[in-house]
Amino acid sequence: MQRIEFFFFDAGGGHRAAATALEMSIKAQGRSWDVRLTNLQELLDELDILKKYAGIRIEDYYNWMLRSGWTLGSIQLMKLLQFAIRSYHSATVRMLERHWKETQPDMVVSFVPHFNRAFCESFNRAYPGRPFVTVLTDIADYPPHFWIERQKQYVVCGSDRAVVQAREHGHADDHIFRASGMILHPRFYEPPIQDRIAERVRLGLRSDLPTAIVLFGGYGSKVMLEIAERLEESQLELQLIFICGRNEKLASALRARPSRLPRFVEGFTTKVNTYMQLADFFIGKPGPGSVSEALAMRLPVIVECNAWTLPQERYNADWVIENGVGIVRHSFREIVGAVGKMIEPGTLARFQANAAGLNNQAVFEIPGMFEKILERAASVAASNGNAALVDRSV
């Protein structure tokens, strides 16, 4: 049985989510691989400078920064992080090489940025010729040295832009695989709810109003309060589903506010796909996961893009416009105008049709890509073995 090792970390929720969803898809397809998931942060704890001197992991600091909304200096923070990673590159390679010799994978798959040079170099030292794959969990790369490195490996891209970037880094077309989008949990492909109207009513919502779902990741965001207040003070007629994640303080604040607009407030849930089916459009940050989830549910999106937006997510806003699947504003202070435009019948219908046309099946496609990569590696290894036999017989 071939062994595949998936590497993720928890700086943001998308990396673990993508690895887990793909593992589920592989099992559902009945593929006879031994897939193991490894948290890179746990493996490299002893090299974590922030933990060593401040007692907090880098990924925990990153997540705290996201929850607090302190993202204005994220470009400078990223440069500092990359400097630290480069400084510890040799030590990281040695540690990873020791790890590969213990786990002995036939293929390594990375779902994390920044470390792909170290992954590739160490795995090639341990097992020359075995394939290393990077699966981008962002719609596009944010170079330099974020996702795609100039080295011999395979790259799985979820957009045409990412494919172009891979080519620009010297990767041949037969080492680039184009998926139809971001990896989503299989639950986003479950059969649709039979009676959306009845489900809305069950949540205390009306059957006849345009419905927005407001979602800002697993810990919510205080900007959701601002969005609620601005829409409350507007003349618009709509209703809102707020998903606050693990931010109970935010959920309580929203529930406590009197409102003329019908609303439903939920905390942490594994039923985001269900709530999205009850909505008509999405309001949130331009994260690759949440935007892709919304579009899979045929929900056009309203997102903002400005200096506070994480640098690796800024292209996502351009991608929304390029694909005609939503509205981008500089700030959610402009939310009333954006929602007013979105709920115009012609606009909403056009955006919904464009979203339906994307047909993201990445979570089901990528296992087949892995199979091709493994078959190619086996073929090359067999050819090299035959060549070696010929050499010895001469």
Q: E strand or H helix at 98, and its extent?
A: helix 89-103
Structure-token match 């704890």, residue found: 45
> Quick check: 217 and 285 in contact, CB under 8 A?
yes
DSSP SS3 for 135: strand
According to DSSP, residue 242 is labeled E
Closest by Cα among 75, 86, 155 to 114: 86
Query: CB neighbours (10 Å) of residue 221?
Result: 23
Output the pLDDT for position 343: 97
- Token output for 284: 């949130």
Output the pLDDT for position 43: 84
> Model-level pTM?
0.90
133 vs 120: CA distance, rounded Å: 9
Query: CB neighbours (10 Å) of residue 145?
Result: 18
According to DSSP, residue 171 is labeled -
Closest by Cα among 96, 81, 105 to 312: 81
pLDDT less than 70: residues of the chain: 11-13, 46-81, 385-394
Q: E strand or H helix at 303, and its extent?
A: strand 301-304
- Token output for 227: 């969005």
